[in-house]
Structure 1
Amino acid sequence: MAELDEVLGLTWVDGPATRQGGVATGRGHLGEDWLIGRAVNGGVLMALGLGAVAEGLTASGHTAPLSWGAHFLSAAQAGPVEVSVEVLRTGRSVSTAQARVVQSSDAGPVERVRLVGSFGDVARTTTVHRAPAPPSLPDPGECLPATRDASPAAAPITMLDRLDVRVDPSTAGFAVGRPTRRGVIRAWLRMRDGREPDVAMLPYAVDALMPVSFDLGVPGWAPTLELTGQVLGDPAPGWLLVELSTDTVVGDLLVEDALVWDSTGRLVARSRQLAGIRMPSA
């Protein structure tokens, strides 16, 4: 089994929630392989919660999170995890559900993230009427590998060991202390174990790269407060191309946009998140 599929796998207490009014709890484990510093990557948590919902909606065919909103309530730690799923509505073409990702602590259960999503059949995205074209950048072999030994900022990102990330050289200046300050990072992305991209991976892909704040010259942690995402297609096998950008920083808040294209150049996912940022006083 692929490494990402292992962390997304849950053991259900009474089976997943399958219909409106259904509530179910699944149990799993978050490994240290998915840490950024001391916290588990938010994309993994989103993929975990949305995948738990999709598992119960298989019979209806509503397994793609067409749109979701995630509110991050506390930093998830490596260790046991529970996902509580409640199906709020089941319809002919769309079902709506919420998922709560919870961990135990000395003070009792702590909610890490709460998601609400609209789920449907990804086949409804087959025809593309209008979508952004992918940016032009060198082939993966001509881009710069993002590894934990590439820069001091990357060292605590344990998750990089699970990924094959190739950063566009024109946006990689942050790795050598020369950020462009345009607020753009572009990179090719795939799983290091060879797992091909699919709909279940896309909620992870929109939040798998280093924060775009790195290109602003702010290499510290940028915790996500809220993220809204959409799945816009079933990705073809091969590399994903991810572009992060920001045009808004106010006070200690950053707005980051993510666009994800598959190997055919089709836009398959996008997101916008509000994150914290610690801008230099100067």
Structure 2
Amino acid sequence: MLLVIDVGNTNITLGVFEGENLRGTFRMTTKMERTSDEYGITIKEMVECQGIDSKKIKAVIVASVVPAVMHSLGSAIIKYFGIKPIVVSAGIKTGIRIVTENPRQVGSDRIVDAVGAYTLHGGPVIVLDFGTATTYDLVGPDGTFEAGVTAPGIRTSGQALWGQAAMLPSIEIVKPDSILAKETISSMQAGLVYGQIGQTEYIVNKMKEESGYTNAKVVATGGLGKMIAAETDVIDVYDSQLTLKGLRIIYEKNKRR
């Protein structure tokens, strides 16, 4: 079995694959102060609680945008699973060629999503990830990572809103019944959700226009992406497990034969 780990700014998402079958998924908050023992015990318990024998995990691959957690996390995998993990970084085989001005600045999470979307859906493809940041990445028909757009995530925007405005409360981010809000909470929800929908439609259409890839498939993943995908026609596919699938695909390209 293969353990895949996606370390994001807000959460660490994990999955266990048996072949191409995703047996289970788990999530924990990203906290830099965890020790290797805390990581190791927590991950092992999560796996076991899903009825998966942790001793059957024979390989691990990690993509991370939080370098500070990698020493403890890597040590945990070695100590508790007896495996040296593959880390998605420069030089690893992905099947995607990055042609931006500085390829090393492209986050590993974006590369993994691009690999997953291109492998599963072909190109050209525009990949959206609704996370701490909302990212829009363009992969050409020949598998080249051509361009990317980075915007604040929905929750990040919300936290800035109520964090900087003393009179605005912290709210649940859901789509209100109407954009014609008549009180504070639904007015904030309308601004955040419909604002994200409008941003998504404009950026996707603009990327298609400027790239010339008017037939590009649009694939979305991440947190609140399901809510946005349900409200707009510009998103063709929503796949909550896209990043985990991309990690499995990259592992298959790099595993020792």
Give TM-score, length-normalised by structure 2. Answer: 0.25
As a proportion of its length, which structure holds more strand?
A: 1
Give TM-score, length-normalised by structure 1. Answer: 0.23
Structure number with larger C-alpha Rg: 2
